[in-house]
Chain A
Amino acid sequence: MDRFLNVTWSGVWIGCEYAAIGVALVVNFRAARVVNVAVGQVFVFTALLAAWLQADGTDPWVALLAALVVGGAITGGQDYLLLQRLRWATPATLLLATVGVSTLLSGAAVVFFGRDPISGKGVVSEGSFELGPWRTSWNTVLFVASVIVLVLALWWLSAKTDVGRATSAAGHDAGAAAMLGINVPLLRLTATAGSGVLLGVAGALFLPLGVLDFSLGLRLTLFGFVAAAISGYYSVPGALIGGLTFGVVDALGTAYLSSTFGLFFTFSALIIIAFATQWVRTERQVFETV
């Protein structure tokens, strides 16, 4: 029982990592109709940046701030400067563009931070605590809480505010939105930058929990994608739940079944999702001809 609880908890905080990336994917899709493969690498890059700053003696809070600013700048800049300029691009071209950005970021990580795996300090004390059989650290709790709070905030922003609704409207039909006087480029920039801020915060807070290196980006994107796709790739809270579910199942499977469970599960989940969405998509297409 002990083990089960703690394994599940590890699934929860790992799931929050996936969820943060999944939510970033969903936000990018809702606002810009882009599958932004670079999100995983943004998470890694901002985390490595925070660790690097900390190693230099910077206060962890400042490092966190730097991470979220840089994260927002990267995803916002990617959308505004690159993706929005590719006016007549096919989805394949856009995907390729984000692959290029992801590669460039991993290269930048090598140049600035080196190839070795890195972990770092948390913003709160290193201590751990126990609550009955449940053992964890403050930093882990902070990480989980922060991701959940930020995701819920993003959800509220995107679904319950005028800005959010205008942004999803613009994502659905940019031309119609422009015809209503909406500044589509600005809204896109704001939303994508917001996803980068989430990634930066999550990245910096993740440092004391695990080890990251420059090459993990695309793999993390994969996990985030599964988290998002489980709930239809359009729901922010859905990606959170998807991420948590995925994390817990992954942790339990790896602990109780086999150590290679993780990626195989990802792979199979993706295949299943791929075929399931073939049916869902045709339905959505009909619905969308208004």
Chain B
Amino acid sequence: MKSAHGTDVRPLPTGQTAPVGEDIEAPARRPRLPRAAVAAIRWGIPLLVLLFAIRWPLVNGDFGLHIGSIVAIYALGVIGIDLVVGRAGMLQLGYAVFFGIGAYTVGVVAKHSDVASGLGVLLGVLVATVVAAVVGTAVVGVSGYLFALVTLAASAALESLVRAIPALGETAGLAGVNRNLLGTGELEAMPLYFILVALTLVAVALYSRVRRSRVGRSLEALRQTPHVAEASGIDLRRLKFKVWVVSGAIGGFAGGLYAVAVQFVSPDVLGVQTSISFLVMNVVGGAGTAWGGIPGAALVRGLVQGVQGLGDYQLVIAGAATIAVVAWFPRGIAGSIERPWRRLLDRLGGSPQVEVSVVQGRDVDGHYSLSFPDIAAPRLSIETLTVRFGGLYAIDGFSMTVEPGRVTALVGPNGSGKTTLVNAVTGRVPAESGVVRVGDEDITHASRQHRINTGVTRTFQLVSLCESLTVRENVMLGGHTAGTAGFLRAVIPGATAAEEAAIRDRANLVMQSLGIEHLADENTADLPAGPKRLVEICRCLMTNSSVVLLDEPASGLNAAERDHLAAVLSELARSGRGVLLIEHDMQFVMGIADWIVVLRDGAKLAEGRPAEIRTDSQVIEAYLGEGEGD
């Protein structure tokens, strides 16, 4: 077969990999420090900073210990709001609801019994989790600024409500919380401080594991490219719900600890000021980072309470810091440090420079060596499909089939409905009438997940990669449905090793097949268009993709990248898959398609082999305009 530019493309027999040709350069190496030195810097400096931070309150007596304890508790609480704001991307203005529930549970327990307050804390977590679960189903259906205002209203309403309930102490609150956190008797200030610091550090360490886990990947996709998350089979509402509940649990935990630390609870622990305070701590500290809560809490609470004369300026500092973050430092304190720090470590460690524009996999003759395992794919049939938006018929009684084992191209002028068709097949828009069939199965009204399970996958018109994930992680996102690990297993070291390894191995294999495995650890933001497109296709191939729908994959690609893409598409078809190619670039289409369907104003204008279509006068007119004599 021929590529778009006429060169021979010959896939090697399955299982063999071609040797790397001379046009691939060896990666450049920079001078580097010995590994021990790099490790010393990597662990040593944060450790020193940590030791200093822990020591500071100790030298300031009881007052310092108190502030240190409060900062630790808030830093822990910030993890909960970070899940919602920094990871899931929802603006939560009522986090104090959970914090307050945890605190009040401890207070109520203390009011009615003498048990160790640690039990109250655990009970508080339970209550907060239950409340989160109950309201969660409704809340996650709301989005945007309505979500923000509803959560704000919840915080304000709850504070007012509690102020009016005698059993909860009304405005004065509840006092008399003991410090018997561990059941071993009242804790002094210093041991309590160390326990809280330890809890916080452990929580941060566990939370940092989330980022690289299966859940973490799905959260990045949820926040940045939700349509990609959906296309990878992720149930967005369910994910948001889980995040919401975990967030509530953490909030309740931190609130309970707070009640133990200050030994009383008052209504403002539930209120708007506390909620906003948490938001500010999260954003200023660094939303999306694991340890951002520490500098955030230190700045917003620690600084103003610890330094003389700053007390009255707490809100001014918080407000100014928030504005500064929004305007100049979107990553917050921790986020602004993390990147340069990582880059410095990379540079010291002498990591190799990867040439991101070169695609590997060419053998000595310049042929591509792609090989996908053969599969038996079903036919995709579209029968008299109609899709309507208000009064506009985007697709009007359209029928076509995508046969396995060949490349079918769907072409047509701008606005003819090509992308809408793909959206209808994948379930992104509903069909008004007609049937979409995969093999014998009618998927016209099936859920999006189910369609993916039947083997239908797609790429998007605008290359959609999650920019905060590496190439490999983007590809692994495609394998989301192959795993089951949620938050719990994500934080336990080793609990997901086997599952992650399986997904990673498959990702490596797929990337190898498309010749981009050397880019696996690169940031997707830096890639040129061609490799980006290939990463997207890799993501598709992580599932049992037997029908691949590609929406304008060649746009933005240079000549060499187009060649490679053409080879990939050919190989996909050769391996038995059904390939539907939507394209504007007719030269590309003519070189690769086995069959062409022309769409115009939502209906089929013509179909046939490339040679027939090229000379079809109706097609020419559709593109170019009327011929002579109208």
**A interface residues with partner B (beta carbon < 8 Å):** 35, 82, 85-86, 89, 91-93, 95-97, 99-108, 110-111, 214-215, 218-219, 222, 225, 259-260, 262-264, 266-267, 270-271, 273-275, 277-278, 286
Contact = CB atoms under 8 A, between A and B. Distances in A.
Contacts of A35: 145
Contact of A286 (B279, B321, B323, B390): B390
8 contacts: A89-B326, A93-B330, A102-B319, A218-B272, A222-B156, A264-B160, A270-B149, A286-B390
A275 B150 CA distance: 11
Given A97-B327, A215-B272, A266-B153, 9 more contacts: A96-B91, A97-B326, A103-B318, A104-B319, A107-B314, A214-B315, A262-B160, A267-B150, A278-B142
Contacts of A110: 312, 315-316
Contacts of B330: 93
B156 A263 contact: yes
Contact of A103 (B147, B153, B276): B276
A23 B481 CA distance: 48
A92 B326 CA distance: 10
A100 B324 CA distance: 9
Contacts, number: 130
Contacts of A267: 150, 153-154, 156-157
B326 A100 contact: yes
B623 interface: no
Contact of A266 (B91, B144, B157): B157
B315 A104 contact: yes
A185 B369 CA distance: 56
B127 to A, nearest CB: 19
A85 B319 contact: no
A99 B145 CA distance: 12
Dominant secondary structure of chain A at its interface with chain B: helix
B327 A218 contact: no
Interface in B145-168: 145-150, 152-154, 156-157, 160-161, 164
Contact of B323 (A95, A100, A274): A100
Contacts of B89: 92
A108 B156 contact: no
Nearest to B391: A286
B468 to A, nearest CB: 15
B490 interface: no
A93 B146 CA distance: 14
B152 A222 contact: yes
Contact of B149 (A106, A222, A262): A222
Nearest to B148: A95
B145 A91 contact: yes
B138 interface: yes
B161 A264 contact: yes
Interface centre among A214, A273, A274, A286 (most CB of B within 10 A): A274
A97 B144 CA distance: 15
Given A111-B312, A260-B164, A267-B157, A103 B91 contact: no
B597 interface: no
Top 4 nearest A-B pairs (CB, nearest first) are A104-B319, A107-B315, A100-B322, A107-B316
B254 to A, nearest CB: 21
A91 B153 CA distance: 19
Interface in B64-94: 89, 91, 93
A135 to B, nearest CB: 27
B341 interface: no
Interface in B240-297: 272-273, 276, 279-280, 283
Contacts of B142: 274-275, 278
B160 A96 contact: no
Interface string B322-334: 1101110010000
Contacts of A274: 142, 146-147, 149-150
Contact of B326 (A96, A259, A278): A96
A285 to B, nearest CB: 10
How many B residues touch the partner, as a band?
35 or more
A86 B390 CA distance: 34
Contact of B164 (A82, A259, A270): A259
B297 to A, nearest CB: 16
A107 B160 contact: no
A263 B327 contact: no
B56 interface: no
B320 interface: yes
A93 to B, nearest CB: 6
B357 to A, nearest CB: 27
Given A110-B312, A111-B312, A264-B161, A219 B156 contact: yes
B146 A277 contact: yes
B93 A99 contact: yes
Given A104-B316, A270-B150, A263 B283 contact: no
Interface centre among A262, A264, A266, A267 (most CB of B within 10 A): A267
Contacts of B312: 110-111
B327 A107 contact: no
A95 B161 contact: no
A266 B149 CA distance: 11
B368 to A, nearest CB: 38
A119 B141 CA distance: 41
B272 A286 contact: no
A100 B138 CA distance: 28
Contact of B313 (A96, A107, A222, A264): A107
Given A263-B161, A274-B142, A286-B389, A96 B283 contact: yes
Given A93-B326, A96-B322, A260-B161, A106 B315 contact: yes
Interface centre among B146, B147, B327 (most CB of A within 10 A): B146
A153 B315 CA distance: 35
A105 to B, nearest CB: 7
A49 to B, nearest CB: 16
Contacts of A92: 89, 91, 144-145, 148
Contact of A101 (B145, B273, B319): B319
B22 to A, nearest CB: 43
Contacts of B314: 107
Interface in B194-230: none
A99 B279 contact: yes
A215 B323 contact: no
A214 B276 CA distance: 14
A219 B154 CA distance: 11
Given A92-B91, A99-B93, A218-B152, A82 B323 contact: yes
Contacts of B485: none
Contacts of A89: 326
B123 interface: no
Given A91-B144, A95-B148, A270-B150, A104 B157 contact: no
A104 B320 CA distance: 6
A107 B300 CA distance: 12
B138 A271 contact: yes
B569 to A, nearest CB: 33
Interface centre among A99, A102, A111, A225 (most CB of B within 10 A): A99
Contacts of A106: 315, 319
B317 interface: yes
Contacts of A278: 141-142
Contacts of A105: 319
A101 B272 contact: no
Contacts of A101: 319, 323
Contacts of A102: 319
B157 A85 contact: no
B326 to A, nearest CB: 4
A35 B161 CA distance: 27
Given A35-B145, A106-B315, A110-B312, A97 B323 contact: yes
